[in-house]
Structure 1
Amino acid sequence: MKDAKFAITDIETTGNGIKGNRITEICVIVVQNGELIDQYSSLVNPSQSIPLYIESLTGINDEMVSNAPQFSEIADEVEKITRDCIFVAHNVSFDYNILRAEFTNINRDFKRKRICTVRLTKKLIPGLFSYSLGNICTSINIPHFDRHRAGGDCEATVTLFQRCVSLDPEYEVITEFLNRKTGASYLPPNFKNSDFEKLPKETGVYFFKDKDGIPLYIGKAKNIKSRIKSHFQERSNRKYKLMQETYSIDYELTGNEFLALLRESDLILKYYPKFNKAQKKYTKPYTLTSYHNQKGIEVFALHKNKISPVNWMKFYTREEAIKFMEYVCEKFELCPKYAGLQRGVTTCDHYKIHSCSGVCKGQIEVDDYNDRVAHALDFINQYENSCLIMEKGRTKEEKSFIYLDKGRYAGYGFINNSEDFSHPEDFRNYLIPQKNSSYTDRLVSRYINTKKNLNKLPLNSIEEVIENEPADWFH
């Protein structure tokens, strides 16, 4: 290891994260046995305009790079000087992935073992206020000239790396970093390796947090550790920015995916994390309502924006609503024309449902047909009853429950398997109340309507665990 060559690299770019970002300047200094043995630097024409804020930061403008070589013209030099070297940079994932992207653009591959001096310094020089290159240099008296230029930053990184080697003369820490096989090699620069190793492989929700402990992103996963590792390995502008701002990761176990989905929704609406896109926009549901027409027939209708005195059920896609009403029509021999499935027809002529009782043709009395509708409404109302949905717990010794208050999500809880609800109100001793939202409405609706062998305890007869009628119309 002491004879290894280290290609210490710094690049300046056009900005904008990872994708679409182009190199404007590069500097590579090769170190072996503590000595500088080779060096290469060049401005690079990015073939795009340099934003004003980048020009203000680096001093590199369009005129300076107009006659500079494009990356394709210097790729051989970069490949040659870094060949058989360990790639070193401050926040190595940025420089390395930008460089790989440039090689990919010209249909070439670029792979090197790599070490991050941010992580190396945190290990060997712990307790600094900040681990940005400028602040480290100030803290430990490293000269740092021409900041935000590739040459100046690269020279400072070389001195920093040499300082780290002096603290690790047997290369034990460096070897450990190189041989690491876990997702820790992809960790954000401000995130602790030890924290990653502590992450569980169970189901739950997780939080990416900033330096003040404020959630930046909240997600759910069947395997929290695996999912977080996949975040580290994703390459996009948005993920790059998230990784740069992440200082810690927290989690909450749920034991099952349905509760994880609900908790994810609860927490996103509570904290409104800046990197979460989903669930921030309100989606108006399709509402199932009914009314009596001029003939006295009770008619079902689906609408999205109208206000009506009677609302039987909500759906969050029209496809879900249509499938449900087709099932109800067949089960209770209702007329598709009067069930919100057909419009502008004199008599029903549905492509799928042929069990109409004939009310549209006058073949059945209105009162008899409305009795069928009443039975259908009884069936629909079972989806709106208050109940507990029982699910797996966080351990083998417990189970979880989701409380639906008149069909709406109202909270959750965990109980020991040995616990027995002898009275309907007993569950409230374990309940963690939550606010309902249009998104949780949607989650609950889909879960109930698609889950086979649903373990559901009605609160009007909680001693009896029932199996809800399988919703075959979704399968």
Structure 2
Amino acid sequence: MKDVKFAITDIETTGSGIKGNKITEICVMVVQNGEVIDKYSSLVNPSQSIPLYIESLTGINDEMVGDAPQFSEIAGDVEKITEDCVFVAHNVNFDYNIIRSEFAAIGKEFKRKRLCTVRLTKNLIPGLFSYSLGNICTSINIPHYDRHRAGGDTEATVNLFQRCLSLDPEYEVITKLLNQRTAASYLPPNFKRSDFEKLPQSTGVYFFKDKDGIPLYIGKAKNIKSRIKSHFQERSNRKYKLMQATYSIDYELTGNELLALLRESELILKYYPKFNKAQKKPGRPYTLTSYHNQKGIEQFALHKNKIAPVTWMKFYTRDEAIKFLEFLCEEFKLCPKYCALQSGVKYCDHYKITPCSGACKNEIDAEEYNIRVSKAIEYLEKFEDSCLLVEKGRTAKEKSFIYLNQGRYAGYGFIDNSQEFNHSEEFKNFLIPQKNSSYTDRILSRYLNTKKELIKIPLDTSREAGTKSTESFFGGLIQ
């Protein structure tokens, strides 16, 4: 291992992200057996303007790189000096991925083993306040001249690497880091591998947090560990910036996707995390109403902008509304023409619902048809009832519930299967109250309108349940 060559590299670029970022300067110093044996450096013409804020940071401007070679002209030199070397950089994924992108742009592949001096230093010199290159150098008295220039930063990284070698003379830590074959090799520079290994492979919500514990990003996942791993491997500018700012990841298990969606929405509204895209407020919903037409038939109508005296249900997409109305029409033997599924036709001619009830052809009278509509409305009214939606719990020994108070989201909770009830209202002892919003309305609307197998417990405060376990309580009241 001591004969291995390490190509310690630093680049300056036109921006702070990864995609679309072009190199303006590169420096590579090859270290073997602790000594520098080769060096290469060059300014690079990025073929695009250097932003003013980058110029003020690095001192590199358009005039300086105007006569410099383009990357395609120095690619052979970079390839040669890093050949048979371990690619080393401070926050290695940034430098490595941009260099790979530059090679890819000219139709070449660049593939090297890589080692991050941030991770190396964290293993060998734990407990520092900050692991940025400048702060490490200040903390352990390493000279760092010409900061934010490729040559100065590479030289400081070489000195840091040499200090790490003195603390790891048998290359034990270096070997361990080089042999990682898990998502840990993609971990954010400030995030511990041991914390990643502790993440669950369960359903819930997760939080990327900054050094002060403030949420930067909140998401939901069926498999939290797998989803977070995919974040680490994503190479967008936004995701790169998120990874740089992340110091810890927390999570909250929900046991099921419905509750994960609700909690994600609630928590985003609570914290407004910097890296979450603003939740797009659901547009005005489609409203299902009914009225008596000139024939005396009670007819369903779907409106988006009109105010109606009678409102039965709301839908946040037209597709959801149409699918539900098709179900209603078939289930209660109604006419598509009178269920907002067809317009401008004398008789029903629906591609899916055949034959219709016959009301449109006067084959049944209005009174008989309206009896069927009344049964459909009784079914619709159940959506506005107070009830519990029962879903999987966080373990096999519990269930979760979502509480709807008169059809509106009011909270959630978890109940152990062995818990006994004397009355259905005792679920409130386990309730975690929550506020309803247009976002939770939409989530629940979609769930209620599309879920084929729905476990829904009506709550009738006048009905005594007797002493029952959670299992029998849930089983006995499911409709």
Q: Report if TM-score (shorter chain) is over 0.5.
A: yes
For residue 25 of structure 2, what is the aligned residue in structure 1? 25
Q: Secondary structure at the match of 1:454?
A: coil
Q: How much has 1:316 moved relative to structure 2?
A: 1.7
The 1:284/1:465 distance shift into structure 2, 3 A limit, reads farther
Q: 2:384 maps to what in 1?
A: 384
In the other structure, the counterpart of 2:272 is: 272
Mapped contact 2:5–2:30 kept (Cα < 8 A): yes
Shift of 1:361: 3.8
**Aligned residue number for residue 149 of structure 2:** 149
After the TM superposition, which residues 349-388 of structure 1 pair with which residues of structure 2 at under 5 Å, given as runs? 349-388=349-388
Q: Which residue of 1 aligns with 2:173?
A: 173
Aligned twin of 2:469: none
Q: Which whole-Å deviations, capped at 9, do the CAs of 1:404-446 have from their partners, x for residues lacking one?
A: 2222222111111111333111100001111122222232233
Instruction: Give 1:394 deviation, angstroms.
Output: 1.4
Displacement of 1:69:
1.1
In the other structure, the counterpart of 1:472 is none
SS at match of 2:370: helix
Alignment of 1:130-149 (within 5 A): 130-149=130-149
Q: Is the 8 A contact 1:456 1:466 kept in 2?
A: no
Which residue of structure 2 lines up, in the alignment, with residue 35 of structure 1?
A: 35
In the other structure, the counterpart of 1:240 is 240
Describe how 1:28-177 pairs up with structure 2 within 5 A.
28-177=28-177
Q: How far apart are 1:169 and its partner, in Å?
A: 1.5
In structure 2, the partner of 1:10 is 10
Identity %: 78
Decide whether the 8 Å contact of 1:183 with 1:232 is kept in 2: yes
Indicate if the aligned counterparts of 1:284 and 1:305 stay in contact, CA closer than 8 A.
Answer: yes
CA positional deviation for 1:25: 0.6
Match of 1:473 in 2: none
* Whole-angstrom distance in 2 between the partners of 1:284 and 1:175: 58
Q: Distance in 1 between matches of 2:393 and 2:326?
A: 35
Q: CA deviation at 1:262?
A: 1.7
Give the aligned partner of residue 216 of structure 1. Answer: 216
Provide the C-alpha distance between the structure 2 equivalents of 1:173 and 1:264, rounded to a whole number of angstroms. 38
Q: Letter of the 1:193 partner, please give it.
A: R
User: Which deviations, in whole Å up to 9, do the C-alpha atoms of 1:364-388 show, x marking residues without a partner?
Assistant: 4333322221111011222332221
What is residue 249 of structure 2 aligned with on the other side?
249
Corresponding position of 1:313: 313
1:40/1:81 contact within 8 Å kept: yes
Distance in structure 1 (CA, Å) of the matches to 2:358 and 2:256: 46
When structure 1 is superposed on structure 2, of 23-32 and 330-339 the one drifting more is 330-339
CA distance, structure 2, for counterparts of residue 107 and residue 236 of structure 1? 21
| Change in CA separation of 1:351 and 1:396 when aligned onto 2, cut-off 3 Å | closer
| SS across alignment from 1:354 | coil
Give the unaligned 5+ runs of structure 1. 470-475
Corresponding residue of 1:465: 475
Distance (Å, rounded) in 1 between the aligned partners of 2:104 and 2:283? 40
Bigger mean CA offset, 347-356 vs 384-393? 347-356
CA distance in 1: counterparts of 2:200 and 2:351, whole angstroms: 50
Which residue identity is paired with 2:62? D
Distance change (3 Å), C-alpha of 1:243 and 1:105: same
> 175-184 vs 340-349, which deviates more?
340-349
Q: Which amino acid aligns with 2:475?
A: V
Unaligned runs of 5+ in 2: 466-472
Q: Which moved more, 1:354-363 or 1:422-431?
A: 354-363
Q: CA deviation at 1:467?
A: 8.9
Which residue is equivalent to 1:201? 201
Structure 1 counterpart SS, 2:101: helix
How far does the alpha carbon of each residue in 1:254-292 deviate from its partner, in whole angstroms, 9 at most, with x for none?
122222122112211211212222634333221111223
1:389-400 matched pairs, under 5 angstroms: 389-400=389-400
Distance 1:468-1:101 versus aligned 2 partners, 3 A rule: farther
More displaced stretch, 184-193 vs 347-356:
347-356
For 1:451 and 1:328, the matched residues in 2 are separated by 15
Report the more deviating stretch, 28-37 or 444-453: 444-453
Q: Spell out the pairing of 1:392-431 with structure 2 (5 A cutoff).
A: 392-431=392-431
Does the aligned pair in 2 maintain the 1:27–1:39 contact within 8 Å?
Answer: yes
Mean CA deviation greater in 21-30 or 376-385: 376-385
Deviates more, 1:93-102 or 1:186-195: 186-195
| Secondary structure of the corresponding residue to residue 378 of structure 1 | helix
Which residue is equivalent to 2:470?
A: none
Structure 2 counterpart SS, 1:422: strand
Measured in 1, the distance between the counterparts of 2:42 and 2:66 equals 13
Tell me how far apart the structure 1 counterparts of residues 446 and 227 of structure 2 sit (CA, whole Å).
Answer: 24
**Do the aligned partners of residues 278 and 355 (structure 1) sit closer, same or farther apart at CA in structure 2, a change above 3 Å counting?**
farther
State how far apart, in whole Å, the 2-side matches of 1:328 and 1:249 are.
Answer: 45
Q: Residues 312-331 of structure 1 correspond to what in structure 2 (within 5 A)?
A: 312-331=312-331
Cα deviation for residue 132 of structure 1 reads 1.3
SS of 2:159's equivalent in the other structure is helix
Aligned-partner residue type, residue 253 of structure 2:
L
Letter in 1 for 2:172: E
CA distance in 2, matches of 1:357, 1:201: 50
Structure 2 SS opposite 1:207? strand
The TM-score with structure 2 as length reference comes to 0.93
Instruction: State the Cα distance separating 1:363 from its structure 2 match.
Output: 4.1
CA distance in 2, matches of 1:318, 1:452: 19
Give the secondary-structure state (helix, strand or coil) at the position aligned to 1:421.
Answer: strand
The residue type paired with residue 200 of structure 1 is: P
Deviations 1:163-214 (A, max 9, x none): 1111112211111111122211111111122211221122211100112211
Q: Secondary structure at the match of 1:153?
A: helix
Q: Which shifted more, 433-442 or 83-92?
A: 433-442
> Using a 3 Å threshold, how does the CA distance of structure 1 residues 238 and 424 change in structure 2: closer, same or farther?
same
8 Å CA contact 1:399–1:416 kept in 2: the answer is yes
Judge conservation of contact 2:183–2:229 (CA < 8 Å) in 1: yes
Q: TM-score, normalised by structure 1?
A: 0.94
Q: How far off its partner does 1:468 sit?
A: 7.1
Letter in 1 for 2:326: E
Alpha-carbon contact 2:282-2:442 (below 8 Å) kept: no
33-42 or 367-376, larger mean C-alpha shift: 367-376
Q: Contact 1:455–1:465 at 8 Å: present in 2 too? A: no
Contact 1:453–1:467, Cα closer than 8 Å, also in 2: no
**1:351, 1:466 → 2: CA distance?**
40
2:259 partner letter? L
1:301 aligned onto 2:311: no
Query: For this pair of structures, how many residues does the alignment match?
Result: 469
Give the CA RMSD over aligned residues.
1.9
- Once residues 43 and 452 of structure 1 are traced to their aligned partners in structure 2, the CA distance between those partners, rounded to angstroms, is 62
